[in-house]
Chain A
Amino acid sequence: MKEYLMILFSAVLVDNFVLSKFMGICPFIGVSKKTSSAFGMSVAVTFVMVMSTALTWPIYRYILVPENGAWDLGYLKTLAFILVIALFVQLVEILIKRFMPPLYKSLGIYLPLITTNCAVLGVTILNIDAEYDFAQSLFNALGAGLGFMVALLLFSGVRERIERADVPKMFKGVPAALVAAGIVAASFTGFGGIVENLFG
């Protein structure tokens, strides 16, 4: 259990996908203006990350690179994974639109936007590169999603302040947000080593 918690916490705090791996910057800057939409987006991203990992990990281990070594199609992982993610997102959208209209209203609008979110493809590929087993991959994906949520919620709080601040004209909008994101990222470096100390 300890090992899984370590993976989870380091994905949330130390190796935060947005603030230290630079994945998913577009939604980080784009959807962080309102806390409510930041929350909706990050719930949707977390769900898609965990489910895509649950789909792509077996595909890699059993179809692309089978354990008996019959063939090695590992180089096709980028292509296979992005297709799986795109199909899965489309499917989920159709399903919840049909069966859960209230959920669709609150989360559905974010779903089509997620296909090209590089954090989702990133987490599935990193799970393979890190040679995690199935459970570890799921925990890593969950941690990545929760880390995305933490970063987005924290940043939307900061963002609401910036909107009211009197910044130089050339910094209005995106530049001010980027500089603020830098400060938030700097604060996250404070978490370095925390996981080893917590569980070590």
Chain B
Amino acid sequence: MSSLKEFTKGIIKENPTLVMLLGTCPTLAMTTQAINGLGMGIATTFVLLGSCVVISLLKRLIPDQVRLPAYIVIIAGFVTLVSFLLQVYVPDLYSTLGVFLSLITVNCIILGRAEAFASKNSVGRSALDALGMGVGFTLALVLMGSIREILGFGTWFGVDLTFGVLEPIGLFSMPAGGFMVFGFLVAVVNRLSHYQISKKKMGCENCPGRAGCGGHCGTVSKTEGEGK
């Protein structure tokens, strides 16, 4: 039961994208269409699963002082592997993902799970945790990609939904639409969780990439909590 929990927590309760607000760059960039979101999600899940398993296996061998560079090398190795696989088997997706495929290396979710979970837990539990987080990330990306594709292009996974009657709203396929849809989704998640999430510690403590947000994510979540 508890191992099942490791898997399911990443999907809804601790969804890396919508609840913990990690990995925002690919979330915004790769969701103009649902299919891109799915591709990005699966590629990230693969890297996440692979690197968490390897890091969990090597957790006793990696010295503490150099663990972050070591993790980054392992992750970059899996990213290289994924880009080879995509280049050969799904060249279309490879060219759509473009530079964001390489940027999976610096996705906070992966370093975050490696640091917070895989380096402390057994291989099996790490794998389940990574798989759950990956599925959560993929679902969030597909959800956002679907919203933006339906509103911005009038299609869903390439199937036309407008029947030539409705005019799609082009704004949603542009960068501006990405920010807005993501803002609304986070707001809805806030509402659904009754503002509880913001009171808990956000994923930032676990995220070596908080680097990027300068640890300010914590302050942001505190101001959210004050609203209650």
Contacts and interface: CB of A to CB of B under 8 A. Distances in A.
Interface string B151-191: 00000000000000000000100111111101110111011
B63 interface: no
Contact of B187 (A31, A175, A183): A175
Nearest to B218: A30
A82 interface: yes
A70 to B, nearest CB: 21
Contact of B183 (A30, A112, A126, A177): A177
A102 to B, nearest CB: 20
A27 B187 contact: no
A22 B80 contact: no
B61 interface: no
Contacts of B198: 173
A28 B42 CA distance: 26
B25 A25 contact: yes
A121 B211 contact: no
Interface stretch (A1-9, A57-65, A73-81, A134-142): A73-81
Interface in A42-101: 75-79, 82-83, 86
A144 to B, nearest CB: 12
Contacts of B171: 186
A86 B216 contact: no
A31 B195 CA distance: 23
A196 to B, nearest CB: 19
A114 interface: yes
B99 A125 contact: yes
A21 B28 CA distance: 9
Interface stretch (B2-10, B50-58, B102-110, B131-139): B102-110
Given A30-B213, A79-B73, A177-B220, 12 more contacts: A23-B103, A26-B108, A27-B212, A27-B214, A30-B216, A86-B72, A113-B213, A122-B103, A170-B190, A175-B184, A175-B187, A183-B176
B225 to A, nearest CB: 9
Nearest to B202: A174
Interface string A5-41: 0000000000000011111111101110100010001
A31 B180 contact: no
Given A20-B175, A174-B186, A177-B183, A118 B25 contact: yes
Contacts of B77: 79
Given A27-B212, A122-B103, A182 B29 contact: no
Main secondary structure of the interface of B (DSSP, over half): helix
A25 to B, nearest CB: 4
A75 to B, nearest CB: 6
A192 B212 CA distance: 28
Contacts of A189: 174-176
A116 interface: yes
A83 B102 contact: no
A194 interface: no
Contacts of A78: 76, 79-80, 83, 102, 105
B187 A171 contact: yes
Contacts of A186: 171, 174, 176
Interface of A: 19-27, 29-31, 33, 37, 41, 75-79, 82-83, 86, 109-110, 112-118, 121-122, 125-126, 129, 163, 168-179, 181-183, 185-186, 189
Given A79-B77, A121-B102, A122-B99, A174 B213 contact: no
B76 to A, nearest CB: 4
B179 A172 contact: no
B217 interface: yes
Contacts of B190: 170-171, 175
B21 interface: yes
Query: Which 4 pairs from chain A and chain B are nearest by CB?
Result: A30-B213, A178-B183, A26-B212, A182-B179
B223 interface: yes
B220 A22 contact: no
Contacts of B223: 163, 172-173
